[in-house]
Structure 1
Amino acid sequence: MSKVYFVRHALPDFNVHDDLVRPLTEDGVKSTYKVTDFLQDKKITKAYCSPYKRSLDTILDFTNKNCLEVLIIDDLRERKISNSWIEDFHTFARNQWEDFNFKLSEGESLKEVQNRNVQALHSILEKHPEENIVIGTHGTALGTIINYYDKSFDYNSFLRIIDLMPFIVCMEFEGISLVSLEEFVL
């Protein structure tokens, strides 16, 4: 069995609209130490992350203290909404969760996000059977992964976790088949 600890990033600075470089707030940085404390006894042997700064910075304290190299996987990134900032995020998110193929011009659908995230996850699981892994991720990306295994994870489920930062989900796998899922709010 493999265990994957998905760590949704800590609180980012929403004043920075560039997804790639959006940093954590001061409170977000402080909460990364809670992530380290939580993961410390989980016998994690591999670390992967989205290329986005906020996700990497959320697991960096843990990986540094445990001498783990973080492998950046572009396909683990959050979904692209469009080339401009969306003011009414909740309406947009509801439209996407109600229709997994809905997307804005130059953006991604949740189906596209799910496909690339799950493909990346399966590749990681195949490379590291029987290991404990941490993956730095995002709310929507993680939500689509959960939905892949549990179709009852929907827009209301997404709303339940939307403000949980950081948020950890531990999934246990036999091969690429999900065996169990447990959530942790820090």
Structure 2
Amino acid sequence: MKTVIYFIRHAEPDYSVHDDASRPLTEKGKEDALKVAAYLKDKDIEAAFSSPYKRAIDTIKLFVDKNNMKVELIEDFRERKVDSCWIDDFIEFSQKQ
């Protein structure tokens, strides 16, 4: 028996919301979440796991809801914290790293 794991990166988040945990998807992100659900629909998926971040959960929510599944939240799936404040220019910040 072969196990297949699908990794889905969250859809486009709304960066105007600076709180990482509650940052929602943009309208494009919501449209892309529909595409994720369509892609996964015939994959015989038995379990769904997500970071606790809203944008990640919302990216797979349509799929799990349609398939009567629950999302198991895993704290260690979250993105690492890089600073204690909002970084306006992340590209510059990461280059300095």
Q: TM-score, normalised by structure 2?
A: 0.91
2:51 and 2:93 mapped to 1: Cα distance?
A: 23
Q: After the TM superposition, which segments of 4 or more aligned residues of structure 1 sit over 4 Å from their partners?
A: none
Residue of structure 1 in register with 2:70 after alignment: 69
RMSD: 1.3
Unaligned stretches of 5+ residues in structure 1: 97-186
Tell whether 2:47 aligns with 1:54: no
For 2:39 and 2:21, how far apart are their aligned partners in 1?
26
Q: Percent same amino acid among aligned pairs?
A: 50
Which structure shows the bigger proportion of residues in strand conformation?
1
The answer for the alignment partner of 1:182 in structure 2 is: none
Work out the number of aligned pairs and report it: 96
Question: In the TM superposition, what is the alpha-carbon distance from 1:37 to its structure 2 partner?
Answer: 0.5
Quote the Cα distance in structure 1 between the aligned partners of 2:35 and 2:10. 12
Structure number with greater CO (CA < 8 Å, separation at least 6) is 1
Taking the aligned partners of 2:3 and 2:92, their CA distance within structure 1 comes to: 37
Once the two structures are superposed, what CA deviation does each residue of 1:4-46 show, in whole Å capped at 9, x if it has no partner?
1111111111000000000011121111110001001111000
Q: Secondary structure at the match of 1:92?
A: helix
Distance in 2 of aligned mates of 1:82 and 1:2: 37
Match of 2:12 in 1: 11
| C-alpha distance in structure 2 between counterparts of 1:58 and 1:92, whole Å | 27
Gaps of at least 5 residues in structure 2 are none
